[in-house]
Structure 1
Amino acid sequence: MKRISGVNNWKLVIRRETAGVTILRAETCDRQAALPDTLFGLPVTALGGHALTPGRQAPEGEEVLVTCGPAGEEWDNRQLEDLRLPDTLRRVGDYALFNCTALRTLRLADTIAYWDGGVLMNCRQLDTFYLTCTGREGELMDYLAGELPRELDMTLSYPEGRTARVIFPEYVEVFEENVPHHQFDFHIQGAGYPYHHCFYHKQFSLRDYDQLWKGYLGMEHEEDCALRLAWWRLRYPLDLTERAEEAYWAYLRDHGAAAARWLLSRRDAAGLRTLLSRTDWTREGLAELCDLARGQDATEALAVLLEEQHRRFPSGMDKTFDL
């Protein structure tokens, strides 16, 4: 077995080809890991079928140990939570990530041209994606949103440092048995279906995405999901029109307390300051948030809240602040 250094611990079985390297098998003991972009001077261009499936027997091929220091004892991907795929990758084989049940976050580029069947099957917790975009992000997003009907959180990184973050709300496809007619009736539940299918010719438009907002609010939806969707579009306002911006802020103004509690749970003091500046508050509402921040030991957020409390209601306030 060849041994090389890397940024994570991997046990690999590979096949060298003229155009690059195919990883036939990859096992790690790390919870957060990045597959190498190159091996032995060749780009990693493909993942084989069942390449990361826990418990699968390793196929025949060239064995490589990638090390970055002390390693754990379990090398079966069952603990893998955060995975970065190589930017050089062009193909992902059948069931490559099958049964990676702890996987929550996937980082990858939109340059993967081929996805074989069942790649994400039984990745039950996978809902967060960081995409490097080169102009083909619509194809990748269409694939991911089509495969995973749950709520998805996608951060899109474009050239020149431009960033967008979009939420795709959950929907559920339900088959109900219609016994008298000996058939199954198909139903779609949840307001997220239009978002998961907002791609025209596999292209993604942020403006088309924003136009779904009014219809989404008109259906039964989860308020906390709507809050996150609105907030991230405002936080990263790439291609955001004034009309869409006002619609998102209108929702946050109507749900200011819930938004503030969410930002407190994230310890996002800067975001909390922005929210407070764009929403109306009573003395009692700010006092409740201050108590919540104290209970969470969120010192920076508490300072923001006390400052806002003093600005809005200066009379009768103590001259000293208790942090």
Structure 2
Amino acid sequence: MREDRIWNKQEELICPEIHYRTIGNGIMITGCYGTDGQVILPDEIEGKPVTALAPYTFAMDHEDEGDKIWLGKSADYARERHRICGEELTEVWLPLQITEIGRYAFYRCRHLTGLTLADSLLDMGGGALTGCHISNVEIHFLHGKKSCLKSIVDEMRYQIRAILLYYEEGEEARILFPEHYEEAVENTPARILVTHHHGAGGYYRQCFYNRELDYKKYDEMLFHTIAEEEIRTTAELVLNRLMYPYDLGEKEKKAYQLWLKEHTEEAGRYLVTKEAFAGLAFLGKEGYWTENAMDSAIEAASGEKKTEILSYLMDEKHKRYPKEKKRFEL
């Protein structure tokens, strides 16, 4: 696990003004005041752990401000503060020991796309993420393998990328949950509505047991992705599991490797589009590159004017497939 991913909040970046109330031996946050929508919440206030977010904390029309105010180290230079709520909220880093998210805590925060949290939180309150568009989740597992990830992905039909950091093993997993949605189609002769399911995401959202992600079951869903998703989605999912193979079985690993070997050109083009140097390096290190695949990636980099990527790929191709010097015989 890389050092920069270890739980470490810089005090000067923590939300400068927090409204709260005391509950038992902990703190419940009721409102946050700052200057932008990227909110980092403190782990402690006045020596007590922050354990809860009140209902409707970040909702637009929320009026419960609690009875106490905490000012962080950044309060002095963040003087033009206002309540952060609704569509302004974009990312939230939750407290380390939070165990409760009140109902509708992020109600209609339409631009909230990112959550960072620890495994102390096992469930979200009813409708907590209603109206949100969560696409990126980072969970720090300090005590085991249970988390509220299922609660999050169940509320979101959109594609979600999850970074899962397991402290005890010092390992990291990167997991993609594809998008899914339901469509009601009328069967006129029978006078009934039939529900049609689209996308592989619904299958992946069932890969949990007792709040733990079942990696074996997740990996067995690959055929659904191949059948129902765009090839770039499959490429991302496969590369995630091979590059960060946490709890990856040998049989499932071979299935991923086979797909990648047969679709290296498409994977290379996807990585060029994302400017993912680590992924391109992985293809080289693990021996997936063919000359045709490299030419395809170079063409994509040239067409998209990604000069850094293009330079890297040209250099790699020269190392792997050097042109033979012409020989002249007298």
TM-score by length of 1: 0.85
Match in the other structure for 2:115: 106
**Helix, strand or coil for the counterpart of 2:211?**
coil
Using the TM superposition, give the Cα deviation of residue 131 of structure 1 relative to its aligned residue in structure 2, in angstroms: 0.5
1:13 aligns with 2:54: no
TM-score by length of 2: 0.83
Alignment of 1:210-249 (within 5 A): 210-217=219-226, 219-249=227-257
When residues 302 and 121 of structure 1 are mapped into structure 2, their CA distance, relative to the original with a 3 A threshold, is same
RMSD (Å) for aligned C-alpha atoms: 2.7
C-alpha contact (below 8 Å) 2:30/2:53 kept by paired residues: yes
Q: Which whole-Å deviations, capped at 9, do the CAs of 1:167-214 have from their partners, x for residues lacking one?
A: 111110223455666654322211221101111343322222111113
C-alpha contact (below 8 Å) 2:163/2:173 kept by paired residues: yes
The CA distance in 2 between the partners of 1:9 and 1:113, in whole Å, is: 24
Using the TM superposition, give the Cα deviation of residue 229 of structure 1 relative to its aligned residue in structure 2, in angstroms: 0.5
**Helix, strand or coil for the counterpart of 1:245?**
helix
When residues 21 and 178 of structure 1 are mapped into structure 2, their CA distance, relative to the original with a 3 A threshold, is same
When residues 28 and 52 of structure 1 are mapped into structure 2, their CA distance, relative to the original with a 3 A threshold, is farther
Alignment partner for residue 288 of structure 1, among 296, 299, 302? 299
Match in the other structure for 1:320: none
Q: Which whole-Å deviations, capped at 9, do the CAs of 1:75-108 have from their partners, x for residues lacking one?
A: 3333332211001101110100112111111001
Match in the other structure for 1:314: 323
Using the TM superposition, give the Cα deviation of residue 236 of structure 1 relative to its aligned residue in structure 2, in angstroms: 0.6
Unaligned stretches of 5+ residues in structure 2: 1-10
Alignment of 1:186-201 (within 5 A): 186-201=195-210
Amino acid at match of 2:267: A
Alignment of 1:152-171 (within 5 A): 152-159=160-167, 160-171=169-180
Amino acid at match of 2:27: V
C-alpha contact (below 8 Å) 1:53/1:99 kept by paired residues: yes
When residues 71 and 280 of structure 1 are mapped into structure 2, their CA distance, relative to the original with a 3 A threshold, is farther
Unaligned stretches of 5+ residues in structure 1: 318-323
The CA distance in 2 between the partners of 1:114 and 1:289, in whole Å, is: 43
The CA distance in 2 between the partners of 1:17 and 1:73, in whole Å, is: 26
**Helix, strand or coil for the counterpart of 1:298?**
helix
Q: Which whole-Å deviations, capped at 9, do the CAs of 1:24-59 have from their partners, x for residues lacking one?
A: 222432232210010011110111000111343343
The CA distance in 2 between the partners of 1:265 and 1:71, in whole Å, is: 40
C-alpha contact (below 8 Å) 2:43/2:49 kept by paired residues: yes
The CA distance in 1 between the partners of 2:50 and 2:66, in whole Å, is: 18
**Helix, strand or coil for the counterpart of 1:115?**
coil
Match in the other structure for 1:92: 101
Kindly, what percent of the aligned residue pairs are identical? 26
The CA distance in 2 between the partners of 1:115 and 1:173, in whole Å, is: 23
C-alpha contact (below 8 Å) 2:207/2:215 kept by paired residues: no
**Helix, strand or coil for the counterpart of 2:209?**
coil
The CA distance in 1 between the partners of 2:166 and 2:229, in whole Å, is: 30
**Helix, strand or coil for the counterpart of 1:264?**
helix
The CA distance in 2 between the partners of 1:22 and 1:6, in whole Å, is: 21
